[in-house]
Amino acid sequence: GSFIHPSDTSLEDARQRLRTALEQTRKLRIAFNERVYEKYRIVLHPPPSSVEKIVDQITADPIGLNIKLKQEIKQVKEEKEAEKKEAQRIAGVLNSSNADGKSTSYLETAVAYFGAGLNLVILPEHDIKDLEPELGKLKYRGPINPETGQRVSGISQAAATAAEVLLERVRQASVLRAERQKRNHLGAKATNVSENEQSDSGILSRYNLLSTMNSSANNKMRIAER
């Protein structure tokens, strides 16, 4: 229906046109990944090695793949909605705490990490066993050498610092997401108290962890600047 173009004279024409679009998108991802790695030494999720792998996955189980994609889209939407609600609650606590003269820098940091979506494109630092062969081809997996604490060769100081800030943002967003999921899971099992009924002090205590994490990030920045 919506994938059929007026210029298509057959179903095969439509399939070929879509195949071409998939290949163009795949090549754009390859070029973008290479550019990001060359400039920042940040590794993104690798695209499929060939368009055939994409097409084969679709033709092997089109219904199942459609269901999987819809589930993934639903999860992303639910995650964004959860972040939106929590950001609104934190904003309320910030307004109240600022009026009382309390320090809330870590809460402000928490809000900054919401909605970034970086975890969708940047390769995580854990649970990547299936990609180890591909990662073995890379000399570096980050802007900072984990053994020496110094920026890796071949990139500028500014690029190394910017990349480390970006990676730290992904790490902290991951911690916040895990904490949110854990809290929601425990809340569903143990109580019927809604998110909006939780105390301001509870919000403040949960995000105290960010002040420690920010100190660690700042130390890494100072090391990168040497």
**Predicted local confidence at residue 226, as pLDDT:** 41
Q: Residues 113-133, buried b or exposed e (16+ Cβ, 10 A)?
A: bbeeebbeebbeeeeeeeeee
**Predicted local confidence at residue 130, as pLDDT:** 72
**Predicted local confidence at residue 99, as pLDDT:** 64
Given a cut of 70, the residues of the chain with pLDDT beneath it are 1-5, 94, 97-119, 127, 187-226
CA separation for the pair 41, 34 (Å, rounded): 9
**Predicted local confidence at residue 22, as pLDDT:** 93
- pTM of this prediction exceeds 0.85: no
Cβ(69)–Cβ(172) below 8 Å: no
**Rg, Å, the chain Cα set:** 22
**Predicted local confidence at residue 187, as pLDDT:** 64
DSSP 118: G
DSSP 103: -
**Predicted local confidence at residue 222, as pLDDT:** 41
Q: What's the token pair of residue 4?
A: 């059929």
- Other CB atoms within a 10 A radius of the CB of residue 198 amount to 15
CA separation for the pair 170, 44 (Å, rounded): 12
